[in-house]
Structure 1
Amino acid sequence: MTTTTHRPEPPATATDDGRALRRIQVGWYINDWANAAFSATVLTVFLGPYLTSVAKEAADANGDVHPFGLAIRAGSFFPYTVSFSVLLSVGAMLLAGTVADRTGRHKELMGGFAYLGAAATMGMFFLDGDRYLLGGALLVVANLAYAVSVALSYAYLPGLASPDERDAVSSKGWAYGYAGGGLLLIANLALFQGHEAFGLSEGTAVRICLASAGLWWALFTIVPMLRLPSRAGVLPGHAPKAVEAGTGAATGAEAKPGAEPGAEPAAGSLRELGRTLRGMRRHPLTLLYLAAFLCYNDGIQTVVSQASLFGSEELGMDQTSLVTAVLLVQVVAIAGALLLGRIAHRYGAKRTILGSLVGWVVTLALGYFMPAHQPAWFYALACMIGLVLGGSQALSRSLFSHLIPPGKEAEYFSLYKVSDRGTSWMGPLVFGLAYQVTGSYRSAIISLLVFFVIGFAVLLKVPVRRAIEAVGNPVPERL
């Protein structure tokens, strides 16, 4: 009789850990590839004009629609709905981030919101006739779910790379996002431009484009769901990070010490959120960085959202030129994110972000002096926006990841996304007031310089090394 001897498995090696980390990184990159389709195809290009046309079909003789008894101009329905979804997403992001850090189920929550958003986006295929309320409801659900899933995905960044490699990883993630969003957008624009050749009406083509973004989002989200660990923030082969003293946040596989699993999870998470918000006062340098990001990112978001209006009304660009410019931004932003990531590896993230803000100032100045009815110049402006867009956002994300207390990744990145989304009304307000006073979109676009100048000045004052040391994280070689 032969006896089989079971040998113990060999211990994991550094090579095994490296393969595991690369597998996780690719899963994270593909998550950006997946969800960027919603931002590019739905929010940036197709949904605004189409939902507005649907609302106009339902409007009364005065051009108003009446959701829940309120009289609203049909042309204002889409921006009002976006604003409402952003306000709802602020609370949802904060609560979801707290629940994720409390339970350690970052991936499950991220995937759940991603598939909720994808389902709502696919449901936009049924948005026709005068169903503007259906479109508004689907937009609110999809945009809220998108915001929460992205905030939770950001929480993985500290565990995806060592401090010195984080800028490159973050930049590569942004590049994947622009590549995925741009690729689907190109296909959808081809379908839209050639809808007659396919025997489709223009409205049907738009609905297919909208639904395709949801399908793309759902299919490619399978990859991060298979590759990412449940808990964010821990490198393969490393022990979980220590808990920040006094916060009660867990960093291991279990819920935080002292928590009662299954006992009032919502109430416990709300209490934890309150502790996090109060605890941020102990990290004033992290708050100072968030203030700088709030300023310059508001300028960035306003330039992106108002560039088409500036191009059409001030520079006389037609729809084809505007769409071409959107595609150029997507494509150039891939190279911009990777290029600024390489520059940051040599000179540090803070210096590179400051340099990108100077680039934004130059871009706005050129936009102010740009001649009208010259598509080539408008395309050059789009390329300049793309060059600084991806890199400035990617490096801002990676730099903030160093300023988060261990174990609080999802909560702090939820606050970061609140700064990203919750303050985006300030730039459009300044833009609108400048136009109202001067009657010139050139004056309106140059008024946004104030956000970049203030953001530059505040970021310049942030002692990044001291801020990283204050939260107990290792300091990268270059800052």
Structure 2
Amino acid sequence: MGTDTVRTEAADDAAGRRREQRGWYFYDWACSVYSTSVLTVFLGPYLTSVAEAAADADGFVHPLGIPVRAGSFFAYSVSLSVVVAVLVMPLVGAAADRTGRKNPLLAAAAYTGAAATTAMFLLDGDRYLLGGLLLVVANAAQSVAMMLYNSYLPQIAPPEERDAVSSRGWAFGYAAGSLMLVVNLALYLGHETFGVSEGMAVRICLASAGLWWGVFALVPLLRLRDRGPSTEKVSGQRGTTTGFRQLAATLRDMRRHPLTLAFLLAYLVYNDGIQTVITQASVYGSKELGLSQSTLIGAVLLVQVLAVAGALTMGRLARVYGAKRTILGSLVAWTLTLAAGYFLPAGAPVWFFVLAAGIGLVLGGSQALSRSLFSHLVPPGKEAEYFSAYEISDRGMSWLGPLLFGLTYQLTGSYRDAIISLVAFFVIGFILLARVPVRRAISDAGNPVPPTI
């Protein structure tokens, strides 16, 4: 084979890889509007108000006869969604690795989530149970889809490109979130001009996120290609099993890679804190600080805009200092920002915007680099299976953080106490991550070690 032929094939491979990477970015563009507009901004306060409308004189609703304070219903629904995700993700992940057919599985998960989100248009009056059900379905579907999406990363990017590719994906997502928040803010603030009520405006914003998700998911589904069945033995049984059993089988397999498991434990802890801040910040701002919905939307828009720059900047810092050190620095920033949030005065939007700026600068980078670092620790051929365990604590699917937040509020009646309780996740996560020797972990997983990690 001549030199020119080799160069041509290499150029074709590089062009094909770039095409897949660009398509991969667009799934973040598609689904991040759900994470931003629905989960972070509108659904928390709106579902809480719907639950409050259905509450008894003592402020409790009674789903399945269980007394739940209306202010805790949203947090509990987020926690329940991860139980559903735990049941489904390991099964889907193992099937994806065994069959090599990630694309149709990604399509099924994405469009289930998009349909549930679009159906949130029906959430009005005192239909808090419908809202909780749709939230659980959408969150679980999003979790499954993100697991499959993330598992493409080690297949479409060589080790030296992963930090940059992962960071660009997050940047695409935050750019989409910013764009739709501008549209949502215009509709929400000008709802009278458009001839709709405030509640109707919120419901339109919720449904539009589902439509956006469904339309733009077509791009990655058309560009990402399946690699065929894994040559590695997938953990667990080939027959029917439960999600918990498959997850247990995956974790048992991870025992052969204890350093990968150690990183995952650290990530699960600090990401619980990150995701709980994301999902509960609007409730904290609305109920504890007394801020208007327009202020909350403006603050989240600021987070989205700064997160684009933050993700790209932290990706560049990782080239110099390594992903691990950069993530550790971001956890220190998270701790300081959250502690400052406890002391924010009520009715002072300026300070809430300062807090939002601090969150935006570290949000995207800490998540993007965690994803790319974990991709180095996954044994070849088990990407979806391992990312199913990773995804349990990603993008608002964490269970312990929302549960702690909800329980703290239920016991104390104070959202300030609830928000400060989350500091523990960042402190413990920092300690656990600092103890992981990532170079040895990458080598033990059977992957090449990048020069800077």
* TM-score normalised by structure 1 residue count: 0.84
More displaced stretch, 192-201 vs 218-227? 192-201
Quick one: structure 1 residues 268 and 192, their matched pair in 2 at CA, closer, same or farther if it must change by over 3 Å? closer
Cα displacement (A) at 1:147? 0.9
- Equivalence for 1:307: 281
- Equivalence for 1:3: none
Cα displacement (A) at 1:416? 0.6
Q: How many residues align?
A: 447
Counterpart code for 1:470: D
- Match among 181, 190, 193 for residue 194 of structure 1: 190
Cα displacement (A) at 1:440? 8.3
1:367 and 2:341 aligned: yes
Measured in 2, the distance between the counterparts of 1:444 and 1:55 equals: 19
- Equivalence for 2:215: 219
Counterpart code for 1:288: A
- Equivalence for 2:106: 110
Counterpart code for 2:254: M
Quick one: structure 1 residues 49 and 355, their matched pair in 2 at CA, closer, same or farther if it must change by over 3 Å? closer
Counterpart code for 1:339: T
Counterpart code for 1:227: R
Measured in 2, the distance between the counterparts of 1:214 and 1:434 equals: 30
1:341 and 2:315 aligned: yes
Measured in 1, the distance between the counterparts of 2:155 and 2:74 equals: 38
Residue pair 1:87, 1:422 contacting (<8 A) in 2 also: no
1:154 and 2:153 aligned: no
- Equivalence for 1:182: 178
1:465 and 2:439 aligned: yes
More displaced stretch, 214-223 vs 153-162? 153-162
1:429 and 2:404 aligned: yes
**Larger relative contact order (Cα-Cα within 8 Å, sequence gap ≥ 6):** 2
Matches within 5 A, 1:107-256: 107-231=103-227, 243=232, 248-249=233-234
Instruction: Flag structure 1 segments of 5+ consecutive residues without an equivalent.
Output: 1-9, 233-239, 251-255
Quick one: structure 1 residues 156 and 117, their matched pair in 2 at CA, closer, same or farther if it must change by over 3 Å? same
Measured in 1, the distance between the counterparts of 2:53 and 2:335 equals: 41
- Equivalence for 1:320: 294
Quick one: structure 1 residues 266 and 27, their matched pair in 2 at CA, closer, same or farther if it must change by over 3 Å? farther
Percent of matched pairs sharing the same residue? 61
Residue pair 1:434, 1:447 contacting (<8 A) in 2 also: no
Counterpart code for 2:374: F
Cα displacement (A) at 1:154? 0.6
Cα displacement (A) at 1:132? 3.5
Measured in 2, the distance between the counterparts of 1:249 and 1:125 equals: 40
Cα displacement (A) at 1:191? 0.8
- Equivalence for 1:475: 449
Secondary structure class of the residue paired with 1:282: coil
- Match among 384, 391, 394 for residue 410 of structure 1: 384
Residue pair 1:163, 1:474 contacting (<8 A) in 2 also: yes
Q: Deviations over 1:259-313 (max 9, x none)?
A: 9xxxx75359997655433211111111111121122222222333343454456
- Equivalence for 2:85: 89
Pair member with larger Rg: 1
Counterpart code for 1:364: L
Residue pair 1:102, 1:269 contacting (<8 A) in 2 also: no
Residue pair 1:431, 1:448 contacting (<8 A) in 2 also: no
Measured in 1, the distance between the counterparts of 2:122 and 2:149 equals: 29
Counterpart code for 1:362: L
Cα displacement (A) at 1:97? 0.8
- Equivalence for 1:16: 12
Cα displacement (A) at 1:360? 1.8
Cα displacement (A) at 1:57? 4.6
Quick one: structure 1 residues 472 and 325, their matched pair in 2 at CA, closer, same or farther if it must change by over 3 Å? same
1:358 and 2:332 aligned: yes
Residue pair 1:170, 1:397 contacting (<8 A) in 2 also: yes
Residue pair 2:82, 2:392 contacting (<8 A) in 1 also: no
Measured in 2, the distance between the counterparts of 1:195 and 1:445 equals: 32
Quick one: structure 1 residues 477 and 242, their matched pair in 2 at CA, closer, same or farther if it must change by over 3 Å? farther
Quick one: structure 1 residues 267 and 310, their matched pair in 2 at CA, closer, same or farther if it must change by over 3 Å? closer
Cα displacement (A) at 1:423? 4.7
Quick one: structure 1 residues 404 and 65, their matched pair in 2 at CA, closer, same or farther if it must change by over 3 Å? same
Residue pair 2:171, 2:312 contacting (<8 A) in 1 also: yes
Secondary structure class of the residue paired with 2:262: helix
Cα displacement (A) at 1:425? 2.0
Residue pair 1:37, 1:184 contacting (<8 A) in 2 also: yes
- Match among 290, 315, 320 for residue 264 of structure 2: 290
Residue pair 2:91, 2:242 contacting (<8 A) in 1 also: no
Measured in 1, the distance between the counterparts of 2:307 and 2:197 equals: 32
Residue pair 1:90, 1:422 contacting (<8 A) in 2 also: no
Measured in 1, the distance between the counterparts of 2:56 and 2:230 equals: 59
Residue pair 2:103, 2:226 contacting (<8 A) in 1 also: yes
Residue pair 1:98, 1:269 contacting (<8 A) in 2 also: no
Secondary structure class of the residue paired with 1:266: coil
Measured in 1, the distance between the counterparts of 2:412 and 2:214 equals: 45
- Match among 384, 389, 396 for residue 363 of structure 2: 389
Counterpart code for 1:455: G
Q: Deviations over 1:132-171 (max 9, x none)?
A: 3333332222111111101110100101211111011111
Secondary structure class of the residue paired with 2:266: helix
Q: Deviations over 1:90-148 (max 9, x none)?
A: 12111111111111111110111101111111122223344433333322221111111
- Match among 26, 29, 34 for residue 33 of structure 1: 29
Quick one: structure 1 residues 317 and 198, their matched pair in 2 at CA, closer, same or farther if it must change by over 3 Å? closer
More displaced stretch, 78-87 vs 326-335? 78-87
Measured in 2, the distance between the counterparts of 1:149 and 1:226 equals: 15
More displaced stretch, 354-363 vs 110-119? 354-363
* TM-score normalised by structure 2 residue count: 0.89
- Equivalence for 1:7: none
What value does the CA root-mean-square deviation take over the aligned residues?
Answer: 3.1
Cα displacement (A) at 1:438? 11
Matches within 5 A, 1:254-269: 265-267=239-241
Measured in 2, the distance between the counterparts of 1:56 and 1:412 equals: 40
Cα displacement (A) at 1:390? 0.7
